[in-house]
Amino acid sequence: MGNLSSSNVTETLETQIQKDPVVIYSKTTCGYCIQAKKLFDNLSIPYVSYELNKLARGHELFRQVHAHTGCPTVPQVFVCGKFVGACRKVLQTLEVLEVLSEELRMAEHLVTYSITGLLLPVGRYSRGRLNFARLPSLL
């Protein structure tokens, strides 16, 4: 394979981040990358991962990603073509989504029971994360 010119790498980067809804630039040896991908998996959010340490021109691609985002670390996550962050920000966001996802499932469960007239005490079943005052805003 020939070398990619800088413009070809840029085209590759732009194509990659626009092609799929969630794109992660990662390394297989990075614990933070593994953790971020695991959280996406736990939330059943599909993503495409480019393992920079496994790609023939991964180092060159990473330099372009770094130039594009200004972020020198992995993972680097793009959603709908926009850079949303590196490890810490993405992990915090995904953890919030994980909690919200659990709360929404609980809210759905409560609504089902309230329709049948069996409204459950929220604190007892949700470990205090969801309360009646917040229920309407979640629906």
- Provide the β-strand partners of residue 85: 77
User: pLDDT tens for residues 23-63?
Assistant: 999 999 999 999 889 888 887 889 999 999 999 999 999 99
| Structure tokens, 68 | 């594009």
38 and 77 in a single domain? The answer is yes
Q: Is residue 1 part of a domain?
A: no
> Cβ contacts of residue 10 below 8 Å, gap of 6+?
64
Q: Is the pLDDT of residue 123 over 60?
A: no
Number of domains the chain is built from: 2
Mean pLDDT of the chain: 75
d(CA 33, CA 44): 17
Q: What is the pTM of this model?
A: 0.64
State what percent of residues in the chain have pLDDT above 90. Answer: 35
Which pair of structure tokens corresponds to residue 100?
């919200």
Residue 2: which pLDDT band, with cuts at 50, 70 and 90?
Answer: very low
One domain, residues 10 and 73: yes
